[in-house]
Amino acid sequence: MKVGFISLGCSKNLVDTEMAIGLFKSQKYEIVANPEEAEIIVINTCRIH
């Protein structure tokens, strides 16, 4: 299954997204850079306080 990631917000989100990508890769998901190729898109964003 092809998965795309979008990271929005602070630099901590980028680190969290990279960790999530590693977890998906370890489960044999294919990571794609182009969202149009993805079957699943994970969006990581900050919540505003």
Residues of the chain where predicted confidence (pLDDT) is lower than 50 = none
* pLDDT for the residue 33: 96
pLDDT given at position 49: 60
Structural domain boundaries in the chain: 2-44
Contacts of 42 (CB under 8 A, 6+ apart): 3, 4, 5, 6, 17, 20, 24
pTM for the full predicted model: 0.84
pLDDT at 39: 98
